[in-house]
Structure 1
Amino acid sequence: MIRFLHTADWQIGTQFGQFEPDEAAHLAQARFDTVRRIADDAAARKVDAVLVAGDVFDLQTVSDTVIRRLFAALQAFTGPWIMLPGNHDAALVESVWTRAQRLNCVPPNVRLVLAPGVVLLDACRCAVLCAPLTQRITYDDTTGFFDTVETPPDYHRVGLAHGSVSGILQEGIDSSNPISPTRAASARLDYLALGDWHGHFRVDERTWYAGTHEQDRFRANDPGFMLDVTLSEPGAQPLVDAVRVGQYQWHRWDESISVPTDVDSLKARLATLGGSDVLRVSVSGTAALADAEALHVAVEETRARVRALRVDLSGLQVLPTTEDLAELGAQSGYLAKVVARLRGMQEDPQSDPQQVKRAAEALLLLARFQRELPREARSA
């Protein structure tokens, strides 16, 4: 019997440029922290090995410090680590892997597989057939040699590769590196451990994507897992357990506001989020001035609670009601004319989208200034 962890797509060194610097720093750090969690779990579960199916690093040009930190994060598990280059960190003549070797920071229990071949784990009678990417994009199936390679009798045959299973992952794949959907059967594999798709995914009973260990995109494809795989004997069906290890969960909300209860509902949903959440929210529709102000406050309160937030309120039109105007002292005179003009800019179908956005922001800013004045000072 052999038991191993299957993980992939760590993409250490990701910059997260879409977020504020402090948010990006926390998200980048989480990728190291979750690798440490995998190492801790591997030790606690007493697995025979950890297989990393490509894209350990996000870029070939990550700093030497990042390389050293990554390998230091593995120390809790002293068993074999088998690491495969993917399309982001392909095994070029000069690569992040050759730099790691020159830095002499790769622990002796970590096997970097920089050329196609077989790694034998004799202690657990397992042959790992490895198909590293030696360039970022290939058009031939790098796992083709699995079908003919010989392994010791009575050894488990486990494949390790990085790419897209043809006809399965056609939408949003990371690269065009093709893998046959029948490879596990044609190569007589007990299990085929894949990387490239960022969510954990069962292709068939013997072929699995582990997905990225720490979510990095606003896509609901089950990221943030590692796979705990047990093979009882050669030829037996693998037992695969998806184990959540990711620290953060990413959400993408596209909200439409038309009545005040829609604002209340969105505020209630925002209130459920906390420090383990990353949110991207886009709001469109129309709202009274008071409701729009309440929504802005709720968004800013959420920003203080969640790990990272991206918000787009440019699609929300702010349309003051009679009650809003009375509260602001803007029922007549110059202030009323300003409000009317800003409303007109939002309602005009010929208005530029940026102009519509600025008009809504101006109304909210005007409301804030007016509310800061004593009531008796508010006049037209």
Structure 2
Amino acid sequence: MALKLLHSADWQIGRIYAQFEPDDAAALFEARFLSVERLATLATEHKVDAVLVAGDVFDAQTVSDKSIRRLFNAMMGYPGAWVMLPGNHDAALAESVWTRAHRLGVVPPNAVICLEPSVRIVGERFAVLPAPLTQRHTYGDLTEWFSFASTPEGLHRIGLAHGCVQGVLSDDVDSANPIAANRAATAGLDYLALGDWHGSKRIDERTWYAGTPETDRFRANDSGQALLVDIAAPGAVPDVQTLQIGRYRWQQMEPRLAVPSDLDETLQTLAETRSDDVLQIRVYGVCDLNGQRRLQQAVEAARARLRALVYESHALRLEPTEEDFASLRADGYVGEVLQQLRTEQDGPQADRARDALVVLARMLDELGSRPAATGTEARA
């Protein structure tokens, strides 16, 4: 008996994007509901037997009632089974977002919420062995019971878990909620659907992370996808395909400026960004006053074009040239201060003098770039 599944995870409905401007944060918040609607459409188009959601459906236990209702509304496009697992963000506590959803009466009959570690039979086609988190962090392998669980003969055995596969993911990944790397083999699973790692990742031929369907961080890890899993018969090796889900493309730029061509290349890359990009740009190195002006103009143009942009320039050192100073046209006392700061750059207070020089140069440049006041404005 063949089985077709759509594997997703880490929806994190209700996530707040505090690092962005309010309108951008609202669009990214909304995109997570739209990704669930897209999953429902794809599940229907591919005629899957069920959608597996391997934890972190919600971003926090405190998401609003409105967000809970909207989530289940977004799932309405697919009438088949949605098999959902609590993760570390929405753990199955005694009082949780899941108990609140049940009290609200919004959980549809086709949603199989796995709040306990017990075998669930779905549609008489497959057995789910879930490992729900009942607290945010555990340090024992909650999938261990899979290896001793019996399921009806002739049904596919599907594991569902949320955590960190031991010895496989990079060293900087939190080691809480461990999962044995060979769990699919020891438990005789046809497929082990995992969540927690936000990108799609193959652990072995039967064990995969689906990743979040809508990218949510500046890390290149194959996120924004879901997995279409075809299993020809119990015991057969799954055929796994990635399906693109996400709308927004999160990117990082970390240019290091040393020569004029570095700036030109950075400006060209900025100009090629698209309206659905979410960009973080951190600039390092040195540039003159004219270069800084060009870079700032390009960043502001990109900010208006992109979905969201975060700009960090604290590591960019501004070193005005002789031409920059001449263009400032500072005279009188201000000119004397400029000259004094330029001289002190070679003294014991060089760093402080250079910082003060940069600040003053920027202020003069901004004043010089303002349009001259008309006679009426000057008298007002």
TM-score, normalised via structure 1 length: 0.92
The structure-2 alpha-carbon separation of the partners of 1:81 and 1:286, relative to structure 1 and needing over 3 Å to count, comes to same
Deviation digits for residues 131-181 of structure 1 (CA, Å, limit 9, x no counterpart): 111111111111111111111112111100111111112434356001111
- Equivalent residue number for residue 218 of structure 2: 218
The letter of the residue matching 1:148 is F
For 1:307-322, list aligned pairs within 5 A: 307-322=307-322
Instruction: Judge conservation of contact 1:314–1:357 (CA < 8 Å) in 2.
Output: no
Alignment counterpart, residue 364 of structure 2, candidates 361, 366, 372: 366
Deviation digits for residues 256-286 of structure 1 (CA, Å, limit 9, x no counterpart): 1111111111010001112211111111211
Query: d(CA) in 1 for partners of 2:57 and 2:342?
Result: 52
Query: d(CA) in 2 for partners of 1:83 and 1:150?
Result: 21
For 1:1-380, list aligned pairs within 5 A: 1-123=2-124, 125-173=125-173, 176-330=176-330, 333-340=332-339, 360-372=358-370
CA RMSD in angstroms, aligned pairs only: 2.2
5+ residue gaps, structure 2, are: 373-380
The letter of the residue matching 2:136 is R
The structure-2 alpha-carbon separation of the partners of 1:358 and 1:133, relative to structure 1 and needing over 3 Å to count, comes to farther
Comparing 362-371 and 105-114, the one that deviates more = 362-371
Comparing 252-261 and 91-100, the one that deviates more = 252-261
The structure-2 alpha-carbon separation of the partners of 1:337 and 1:37, relative to structure 1 and needing over 3 Å to count, comes to farther
Instruction: Judge conservation of contact 1:174–1:197 (CA < 8 Å) in 2.
Output: no
Q: What is the CA distance between 1:336 and its match in structure 2?
A: 3.6
The structure-2 alpha-carbon separation of the partners of 1:153 and 1:315, relative to structure 1 and needing over 3 Å to count, comes to same
Q: What is the CA distance between 1:335 and its match in structure 2?
A: 4.0
Instruction: Judge conservation of contact 1:174–1:196 (CA < 8 Å) in 2.
Output: no
The structure-2 alpha-carbon separation of the partners of 1:284 and 1:98, relative to structure 1 and needing over 3 Å to count, comes to same
Query: d(CA) in 1 for partners of 2:19 and 2:101?
Result: 29
Deviation digits for residues 52-99 of structure 1 (CA, Å, limit 9, x no counterpart): 000000100111111101111000000000000001100011000000
5+ residue gaps, structure 1, are: 375-380
Q: Secondary structure at the match of 1:89?
A: coil
Query: d(CA) in 2 for partners of 1:310 and 1:122?
Result: 47
Identity of aligned residues (%): 51
Q: What is the CA distance between 1:315 and its match in structure 2?
A: 1.5
Comparing 111-120 and 317-326, the one that deviates more = 317-326
Instruction: Judge conservation of contact 1:274–1:306 (CA < 8 Å) in 2.
Output: yes
Instruction: Judge conservation of contact 1:328–1:371 (CA < 8 Å) in 2.
Output: no
Query: d(CA) in 2 for partners of 1:45 and 1:23?
Result: 32
Q: Secondary structure at the match of 1:293?
A: helix
The structure-2 alpha-carbon separation of the partners of 1:57 and 1:296, relative to structure 1 and needing over 3 Å to count, comes to same
Query: d(CA) in 2 for partners of 1:225 and 1:358?
Result: 49
- Equivalent residue number for residue 378 of structure 2: none
Instruction: Judge conservation of contact 1:13–1:57 (CA < 8 Å) in 2.
Output: yes
Q: Secondary structure at the match of 1:211?
A: coil
Aligned length, in residue pairs: 371
Q: What is the CA distance between 1:322 and its match in structure 2?
A: 2.2
Query: d(CA) in 1 for partners of 2:121 and 2:347?
Result: 70
Deviation digits for residues 171-206 of structure 1 (CA, Å, limit 9, x no counterpart): 343560011111000000111000011111111111
- Equivalent residue number for residue 377 of structure 1: none
Query: d(CA) in 1 for partners of 2:224 and 2:144?
Result: 29
Query: d(CA) in 1 for partners of 2:193 and 2:120?
Result: 14
Q: Secondary structure at the match of 2:75?
A: coil
Instruction: Judge conservation of contact 1:4–1:228 (CA < 8 Å) in 2.
Output: yes
